[in-house]
Amino acid sequence: MTRIRDYENAGAKFTHDANGVLRSTLDLALTELPSDEESAVTTPRGYKAEGLMFEDDVKVCGISIAVNPEAQKGLAQVLRTSLPYDAKYGEILVQEDAKGGNKIAKATLPEDLDGHEVLLLLPELASVSQIDKVIHLLMQQGVEEDKITVVTLVTCPEGADGFCKAFDDARLVTASFDSRLNSEGHIVPGIGSFEERYLGAPSSVVDVVDEAVESSKEENALKAKITSKISSWFKKD
């Protein structure tokens, strides 16, 4: 995450680093799907090995969400190189509205999602309004809420709390749980504009903040309240 946050990290290097963390976060999300903890297989040399495998009836679908079609292609490829071989895939292009939320511009979804565990790949979650219309669309298509997992690089207390209040049964898996939103609705410390950087645009420091970012007591209380519903392999204290 540190390399992704660094404004000097740009171009192909940023894309490479971001893809690596996205895959790690997807791996974490997959471990939370229904699994058989007593699975056993036979190796090519005839030895038995016990391990963890999905339950027989688990079906997976990955859906990438982006504003820019070129960013969509990259995120879709991350899904295809991370999810099970027989997974289904979909793509949703969104447009940002004046309030910072997303509206669906184009949705390409598999025909039959009944019974599938659906992983939604959205690199940043600052507000539930970025994802709520997508989740409602999936539920209209017959996907149960408790089978929906949002996978993101970074979120914050405001975004996560709004998500948990709106969707009791859906899951949120994040690489980093950041401190807060600023007055412009950006995650602090955050990663800048993900899609612009993902497509190679150089990043610059808009406003240098001398003091370290610290969570207030209220922010820490909110984080403590909702972290039980959030999975993260990296959490900011």
Structural domains of the chain, ranges and CATH numbers in brackets: 2-204+213-232 (3.40.50.2020)
Neighbours of 77 (CB within 10 A): 12
Q: What is the pLDDT of residues 172-188, one digit of tens each?
A: 999 999 999 998 889 99
Tokens of 10: 């740009």
Chain segment 33-89, per-residue pLDDT in tens: 888 777 889 999 999 998 888 877 889 999 999 999 999 999 999 999 999 999 999
pTM: 0.85
The pLDDT assigned to 181 comes to 92
Q: Give the residue-averaged pLDDT of 212-229.
A: 56
Identify whether the C-beta of residue 226 lies closer than 8 Å to the C-beta of residue 40: no
- pLDDT above 70 for 210: no
For the chain, what is the mean pLDDT? 87
Using one digit for the tens of pLDDT, what is the confidence trace for 78-124? 999 999 999 999 999 999 887 767 899 999 999 889 999 999 999 99
Tell me the range of 111-115, 125-129, 205-209, 233-237 where mean pLDDT is highest: 125-129
Residue bearing the bigger pLDDT, 162 or 221 = 162
Does residue 224 surpass a pLDDT of 90? no
